[in-house]
Amino acid sequence: MRLPGAKVLITGATGGLGQAIAAAVHERGARLILTGRHEQTLAEMSERFGAESVVCDLRDRDDLLALARHHSDTDVMILNAGVPAGGRIGEHAPAAIDAALDVNLRAPMILARMVSAEMASRGGGHIVFMSSLAGKAASPGGSVYSATKYGLRGFSLALREDLKAHSVGVSCVFPGFIRDAGMFAYSGAKLPRYVGTKTPEEVAAAVISAIEHDRAEIDVAPLGLRAAAALAGLAPEVVARIQRRLGAADFSSELSRGQATALTKPEKATS
């Protein structure tokens, strides 16, 4: 899929990774449709990139259908919006589980369902899902988040096969811990020294590569984390034992506490 001149819709454009992805896609000469809830950030980004913007709460079913209907002629859809949903299952009110499922899994499925039919009838297009390494390897305190991110992986791989005959590409991107901006960086959680990070720009480069080279999956993490995620697919109990020894439960608690606090800061998306 060629990006120059293409119409590209990005969800979660106001967030840490979304802003880097928008900049990279704009640099490739695409026309951007940016969506999120944070009006001021959207207005600033629209001005900077000469983009159209749509304020849209992906939990609102009418908003979601309106977004899909008005932009069904999109050439590329980058389904990046997400909520961290960290914490043990008993710490989540049922409504918080609904929210995580709505934003992280239901909205991308509905948007993909709505635009892929038009892409298929036009004989081209590309859809990118933003999962996480938590969609390949589960950790303590990540049951709800991992459920949504594993779900995206399965949806993406199956959809890719369904749409192949119509020349519509489907990719899934799996970031590990991303520094400088985004939901991990905003949490303030400190990683053990031996766990490496990547940048939002590296995630954006992976998204571009996924679209231009029709890659099924791309991990964005240092080798050690990618290897651990691959091992988790083959031998999840071995990885769980290693995580227990390394004190992963304490780190997860710190991360979800930090993310819960960061979510209450309205200025987070404008930084």
Instruction: Work out the burial of residue 41: count CB atoms within 10 Å of its CB; fewer than 13 is exposed, 13-18 middle, 19 or more buried.
Output: buried
SS3 11: strand
Site for ligand NAP in 99-128 (CB under 6 A): 103
* Closest CB to ligand NAP: residue number: 15
Whole-angstrom distance, CA of residue 201 vs CA of residue 19: 9
Does residue 194 have an active-site annotation?
no
To the nearest whole angstrom, how small is the minimum distance from the Cβ of residue 121 to ligand NAP?
A: 27
Q: What single-letter DSSP state applies at residue 220?
A: E
To the nearest whole angstrom, how small is the minimum distance from the Cβ of residue 129 to ligand NAP?
A: 9
- Which of 46, 132, 139, 256 binds ligand NAP (CB under 6 A)? It is 132
Q: Is 49 in the site for ligand NAP (CB under 6 A)?
A: no
Q: Is 129 in the site for ligand NAP (CB under 6 A)?
A: no
Q: What single-letter DSSP state applies at residue 105?
A: I
Q: Is 67 in the site for ligand NAP (CB under 6 A)?
A: no
Would you say 33 or 237 has its CB closer to ligand NAP?
33
Q: Is 33 in the site for ligand NAP (CB under 6 A)?
A: no
Residue 39 in contact with residue 84, Cβ under 8 Å? no
SS3 240: helix
Q: Is 57 in the site for ligand NAP (CB under 6 A)?
A: yes
Stretch that binds ligand NAP, among 10-18, 116-124, 156-164, 236-244 (CB under 6 A): 10-18
Q: What would you measure as the largest C-alpha separation in the chain, in angstroms?
A: 52
Q: Is 37 in the site for ligand NAP (CB under 6 A)?
A: yes
Whole-angstrom distance, CA of residue 185 vs CA of residue 201: 14
C-beta atoms surrounding 155 within 10 Å: 18
Q: Is 83 in the site for ligand NAP (CB under 6 A)?
A: yes
To the nearest whole angstrom, how small is the minimum distance from the Cβ of residue 10 to ligand NAP?
A: 9
Q: Is 70 in the site for ligand NAP (CB under 6 A)?
A: no
Whole-angstrom distance, CA of residue 72 vs CA of residue 14: 21
Tokens of 244: 């227990």
SS3 8: strand
Query: Which are the catalytic amino acids?
Result: 145
Instruction: Point out which residues bind ligand NAP (CB under 6 A).
Output: 12-18, 36-38, 56-59, 80-83, 103, 130, 132, 175, 177-178, 182-184, 269
